[in-house]
Amino acid sequence: MAVVSVIEAVREAIREEMRRDSNVFVLGEDVGQRGGVFLATQGLLEEFGGERVIDTPLAEAAIMGIALGAAYRGMRPIPEVQFSDFVWPAVNQLIGEAARVCYGTHGSLNVPMVVRIPYGGGIRGGLFHSQNVEAMFFHTPGLKVIAPATPFDAKGLLKSAIRDNNPVISLEHKKTYRLVRGEVPEDEYTLPIGKADIKRPGESITTVSYGLMLHYCLEAAEQVSQEGIDVEVVDLRTLKPLDKETVVESVKKTGRLLIVHEDNITGGVGAEVAAVAAAEAFEFLDAPIARLCGPDVPTMPFAETLESAYMPSTETVAVALRNLAAY
User: What value does the mean pLDDT take over residues 317-323?
Assistant: 98
Active-site hit among 129, 173, 215, 261: 129
In this structure, the answer to whether residues 179 and 259 fall within a common structural domain is no
Say if CB 211 and CB 176 are below 8 A apart. Answer: yes
- Residue from 149, 145, 197 nearest 169 by CA: 145
In this structure, the answer to whether residues 23 and 44 fall within a common structural domain is yes
E strand intervals along the chain = 2-5, 24-28, 53-55, 76-80, 114-119, 144-146, 168-173, 181-184, 197-200, 205-209, 231-235, 238-240, 257-264, 290-294
In this structure, the answer to whether residues 161 and 217 fall within a common structural domain is no
The pLDDT tens digits of the residues spanning 150-207 come to 999 999 999 999 999 999 999 999 999 999 999 999 999 999 999 999 999 999 999 9
253/174 Cα distance (integer angstroms): 33
- Residue from 7, 4, 13, 39 nearest 168 by CA: 13
DSSP 79-122: EE-SSGGG-GGGHIIIIIIGGGHHHHTTTSS----EEEEEE--S
Please determine, for residue 62, whether its predicted confidence score (pLDDT) is greater than 90. yes
In this structure, the answer to whether residues 66 and 168 fall within a common structural domain is yes
**Whether this model's pTM surpasses 0.85:** yes
pLDDT for residue 300: 86
- Average pLDDT value for the chain: 97
High-pLDDT (> 90) share of the chain, %: 98
132/262 Cα distance (integer angstroms): 7
In this structure, the answer to whether residues 94 and 170 fall within a common structural domain is yes
Side-chain half-sphere exposure of 312, counting CA atoms within 13 A: 32
Please determine, for residue 39, whether its predicted confidence score (pLDDT) is greater than 90. yes
The confidence band for 299, taking pLDDT boundaries of 50, 70 and 90, is confident
The confidence band for 33, taking pLDDT boundaries of 50, 70 and 90, is very high
State the pairing for strand pair 231-235/205-209. parallel
Which of 160, 184, 208 is the endpoint of a domain?
184
> How is residue 63 annotated by DSSP?
H
**Where residue 210 sits, what CATH number does that domain have?**
3.40.50.920
- Residue from 195, 198, 190 nearest 214 by CA: 198
Residues ≥6 apart with Cβ < 8 Å to 211: 119, 120, 147, 148, 149, 171, 173, 176, 261, 262
User: What value does the mean pLDDT take over residues 127-149?
Assistant: 96
Which residue segment(s) compose the domain that 28 sits in? 2-184
* Residue 151 is assigned to a structural domain of this protein: yes
The confidence band for 309, taking pLDDT boundaries of 50, 70 and 90, is very high
Annotated catalytic, 129? yes
In this structure, the answer to whether residues 97 and 171 fall within a common structural domain is yes
User: What value does the mean pLDDT take over residues 47-57?
Assistant: 97
